[in-house]
Structure 1
């Protein structure tokens, strides 16, 4: 019987315990995210061309990114995220794919 009484007292103590942090200040209330960023790289020497832009206000996000593909086309992805609706993307391509003519390498032995 004493064990049940001690167990009951422990459960009551846990249920009524203060949930404030023991050290420091309490955490501030969450603030909805708000940001805007962009970057771009265009390197004529290596042929790299890519970039990204995104803006967010609370749970709504919009942005786009692009990359120069190895076949010469520019791929662009524009996207939005509105609350819990999910990620909605629109993918487009600019230019025409170009493939070099295949030339087999000569054998390495003679």
Structure 2
């Protein structure tokens, strides 16, 4: 009984999503509807649950003519690890414009502004904000004087 209820709910959700269409009357093509029941059409076999309703599967419709359009932004600012970065991008049709920035280990911030389109290709302008601060390593080349005493004699 639970399997039948689950199947009916799954079929209803699929119909509402638009993946299959409901056709009233009879058995589906290639379906098996017990008592004129609910049958998956298109040669898929069927499942008899109801009365007088068949379901015919149809391919998903993809619109290839509508130009792409999206916009997104994100960012990270982690005080514990020092990770700081952000990005924003907009696409309208075949043209993409965006910018991202990140904190470099030397203390500067790298900023990249980019565009891409079918005519000019991908173009990026990279810049740095701030002054690089590299740690100075001071090496000591001093020689230790003194020694280890062996029988009254010191070794250097």
Shared fold, TM over 0.5: yes
Aligned to 1:102: 137
CA root-mean-square deviation: 1.8
Larger helix percent: 1
* Distance apart, 1:82 and its partner CA: 2.1
Q: What residue ranges of structure 1 are gaps of 5+ in the alignment?
A: 1-22, 105-110
Bigger mean CA deviation after superposition, 87-96 or 39-48: 39-48
SS of residue matched to 2:125: strand
- State the TM-score, normalizing by the size of structure 1: 0.67
Matched, 1:80 2:115: yes
Which of structures 1 and 2 has the larger relative contact order (alpha carbons within 8 angstroms, sep 6+)?
A: 1
Aligned to 1:53: 88
Query: What are the within-5 Å matches in structure 2 for residues 8-87 of structure 1?
Result: 24-25=58-59, 27-30=61-64, 31-87=66-122
Q: What residue ranges of structure 2 are gaps of 5+ in the alignment?
A: 1-56, 140-156
1:9-41 CA-to-partner distances (Å, cap 9, x unmatched) read xxxxxxxxxxxxxx7326433132100000011
- State the TM-score, normalizing by the size of structure 2: 0.48
Q: In structure 2, how many angstroms separate the alpha carbons of the residues matched to 1:83 and 1:103?
A: 53
How many residues align? The count is 82
Larger radius of gyration: 2
Runs of 4+ in structure 1 over 6 Å off:
none
